[in-house]
Amino acid sequence: MTSDSNLSSRITLLGGEMLTWSDLDRTKGTGPFASPLVVPVLTQLMNQSTKALIAGPHAPWLLERFAENVGSLDVVVRSWPDAHALNLRLNGKPVRIYCGAFEKLAVEENQYDVVMALDGIPRLFAADSVDLPWAETVAMLRRLVKPGGHLVLGVGNAMGLDQLLDADASVKPAADDQWPTSTDADVKPPPGLNAVKAVLAANELVVREHYAVFPRASKTSLMVHEHTLAGSEGDEVLSILASSAFANGMGDKPVLTDPRRLAREMVRHGMGMQLAPGWLFVTQVADPAGETATAAPEQTGLEAENEAIQSAARQAAEASGSVGFPDALITDNLEHPYWAVVLELGRDAEGSWHRDLIDVGRSTHVRAAGHLQREPAKLIGRVPGGTLLEERFLTACRHDDLNALRRLVRGYAEWLHDQAEFAAWKDPWSSDAAGVSERLVVPGGAVFATFENVMLDGDKHELLDASWSTTLQIPYEIALTRALRRFGYRVLAGGLRHPWPNGMSPNRLTVTLASMVGVTVTPHLLERSARLEVELEGQQRNNTEVGDQQLYFELQTMGEQPMGTEPGQPRGYREALATVGQLSTELSEAQNQIEWLDATVQLREDQLRRERKISADIKNSMSFAIGNSLTTPFRAIFKMFRPVFRAMNPAAADRDRKK
């Protein structure tokens, strides 16, 4: 294809275009950082006079959002289908689209205020491009930025926690979007965070802001600033957020171990930045005429220069009253954006976390669908302190502490019971039109008070996310059964240690936990809790009727079967090995008991045979024969007069009649 050929006024062909390839089709995802979290960070670098360049595949809706905040936007993609789709979607916006290999982009240097490559380096080049080292490509991007401008770069971490958790990462073939032509050029980022920063510094790029992204760059639900993670040792809130991000982000992929546990420990031990799946660098090119060149690297070092720029940026943000660069950003429901909420998290001087809403899309709006409601405003304010209730339960399970489990179940049940009130209730899943009775009903928000959404601080229980509610009236017993059942699935599906026999089903574990608070879980109660789960999950997923039926079938069948025997999310390999070891131990103990019982039975049989032999020897002896012949007349006389003796003893006669 000839270079500089124009198909339209908006698309320029560079050469090396990939005519049938797409980086953004459904099989390859939606592009890097396809998350609303980057919007409040990157839009601060833009205004109506900004000239921006975005290199590589990015989510189309993200490009559309950036196009609304800049004076002009240039986009470089290697795929013709992607370029054509963007041309249609960005119609009417100040956008020019370049299609082809990035190294063929012939534009003047130092002309862009902002250059973004959120996807990093590998997918900038076409199939027939000559491989360029990662550092050289960064230098190419840097030459396009004006002095004082910004280069925003996404970098994947080959030793990120997502890679460590992936059970088949080392045996999978190379991705179909990478075509290395030589082993001499290393197109991947240098190993380690410090090595990446060294390459940026060598290209005279000062790191202004630096975020760690979780759980994957292609599915970012949590972004944490570097200075926040630096002091995160022992932080419960960040560890809970990271744990939840990995639990939701790993999907159904086989894992080496429980992602929630490892993500939590990663943050609590201060390794969040080093083990982050990816990093987002907001760098700035030093401007000799501006303030960014005031710090001298040879006198203060790169770290002092970075800190000076970050401090100046924060002071400017505070002076202007703008949001500035937040300590952390979090979102949820990436698969179902209708319910998504974007939150900024900040930590005060006392170390307490506070939440505030970020207006991205409908993030701040109240939403409702069917009986389900969400009020994001309820998330504003202090983040509840303490420890996640689920974590307290799992700790007690790991130590086989049944007393602690009883206390936790009773405390949770009392807290849930105290919120309930007597009200007229009609079973929404019953066909009986007249079936109205007075029951103890919990509020709509308390229905979502499951173990993974409750913080425990001493004896105080508090909802972590209080924005969800339902208009359904749910009796206390059904709400309690649902919460216990979800925890049962969590323990058994994850292959986690617990003090009960192996091979238990979630339903049986639910019955056991409920008995600790005197609640009898019947099959009818289990069925109603499954229907409630379908109602809540189905609305969140926007399920069809078929989807609801499938979810209900899975809950019912999986609830009755021992976990591990049914298809579903694979448990971690480490937990599987631990379970095999525990089963082997129990089998060995059972085998020892069987052997002891066999030995005991054999001993009793030997004793019985000896007693029988002694009895036979006595009966065959001469003394026994003489004694028997002498006592025979007396036995005959006694047998003859026995009725007379019975008649003379009424008590003995009554006993004979009863017999």
Residue 80 dihedral angles phi and psi, to the nearest 5°: -65, -45
Q: Lowest-confidence range among 338-342, 412-416, 481-485? A: 338-342
User: What token pair was written down for 173?
Assistant: 């073939």
Q: At residue 560, does pLDDT exceed 80? A: no
Q: Lowest-confidence range among 303-307, 391-395, 553-557? A: 303-307
| pLDDT in the model for residue 517 | 92
| pLDDT in the model for residue 184 | 56
Alpha-carbon gap, residue 224 to 616, rounded angstroms: 88
Alpha-carbon gap, residue 611 to 597, rounded angstroms: 21
| pLDDT in the model for residue 56 | 85
502: region left, alpha or beta (phi > 0 left; psi from -120 to 50 alpha) = beta
Highest mean pLDDT among 27-31, 82-86, 182-186, 558-562: 82-86
Is-contact 390 451, C-beta < 8 A?
yes
Is-contact 282 209, C-beta < 8 A?
yes
Question: DSSP character for 384?
Answer: P
| pLDDT in the model for residue 290 | 57
The residue with greater pLDDT, 366 or 648, is 366
Q: At residue 2, does pLDDT exceed 50? A: no
Is-contact 113 94, C-beta < 8 A?
no
Q: What confidence category does residue 298 fall into, taking pLDDT thresholds of 50, 70 and 90? A: very low
The mean pLDDT value for 299-307 works out to 45
| pLDDT in the model for residue 449 | 92
Q: What is the mean pLDDT of the chain?
A: 80
User: What token pair was written down for 113?
Assistant: 């205020």
| pLDDT in the model for residue 158 | 83
pLDDT, tens digit (0-9, with 9 covering 90-100), for 124-144: 887 777 778 888 888 989 999
The mean pLDDT value for 243-257 works out to 76
| pLDDT in the model for residue 185 | 59
Q: At residue 571, does pLDDT exceed 60? A: no
Per-position b or e across 349-372, b if 16+ CB within 10 A of its CB: eeeebebebbebbebeeebeeeeb
- Token look-up 């290697």 returns 78
Q: At residue 463, does pLDDT exceed 90? A: yes
For residues 306, 312, 314, 315, the Cα torsion angle rounded to the nearest 10 degrees is 160
Considering the entire predicted model, what is its pTM?
A: 0.76
Q: At residue 323, does pLDDT exceed 80? A: no
Q: Lowest-confidence range among 88-102, 170-184, 553-567, 597-611? A: 170-184
Q: At residue 222, does pLDDT exceed 80? A: yes
The mean pLDDT value for 100-119 works out to 86
Residue 201 dihedral angles phi and psi, to the nearest 5°: -65, -35
Question: DSSP character for 162?
Answer: H
DSSP 381-399: EEPP-SEEHHHHHHHHHHT
The residue with greater pLDDT, 378 or 618, is 378
| pLDDT in the model for residue 314 | 46
| pLDDT in the model for residue 318 | 41
Q: At residue 34, does pLDDT exceed 90? A: no
pLDDT, tens digit (0-9, with 9 covering 90-100), for 328-358: 999 887 778 888 899 999 888 787 889 999 8
In percent, the amount of the chain with pLDDT more than 90 equals: 19
The mean pLDDT value for 488-511 works out to 84
The mean pLDDT value for 281-292 works out to 75
CA triplet 122, 334, 452: central angle to 5 degrees?
120
| pLDDT in the model for residue 408 | 94
Q: What confidence category does residue 282 fall into, taking pLDDT thresholds of 50, 70 and 90? A: very high
Q: At residue 210, does pLDDT exceed 50? A: yes
Q: At residue 552, does pLDDT exceed 70? A: yes
Q: What confidence category does residue 448 fall into, taking pLDDT thresholds of 50, 70 and 90? A: very high
| pLDDT in the model for residue 575 | 59
Q: At residue 102, does pLDDT exceed 90? A: no
| pLDDT in the model for residue 172 | 59
| pLDDT in the model for residue 319 | 39
Is-contact 126 100, C-beta < 8 A?
yes
| pLDDT in the model for residue 9 | 62
The mean pLDDT value for 427-436 works out to 72
| pLDDT in the model for residue 540 | 81
Q: Lowest-confidence range among 48-62, 416-430, 602-616, 635-649? A: 635-649
Which alpha helices (DSSP H) does 57-202 contain, by range? 60-67, 80-89, 134-143, 161-165, 193-202
| pLDDT in the model for residue 114 | 92
Q: What confidence category does residue 434 fall into, taking pLDDT thresholds of 50, 70 and 90? A: low
Q: Specify the 3-state DSSP secondary structure of 157.
A: coil
| pLDDT in the model for residue 569 | 41
Q: At residue 303, does pLDDT exceed 60? A: no
Q: What confidence category does residue 286 fall into, taking pLDDT thresholds of 50, 70 and 90? A: confident
The residue with greater pLDDT, 611 or 25, is 611
Give burial (CB, 10 Å; 0-12/13-18/19+) of 535.
Answer: buried
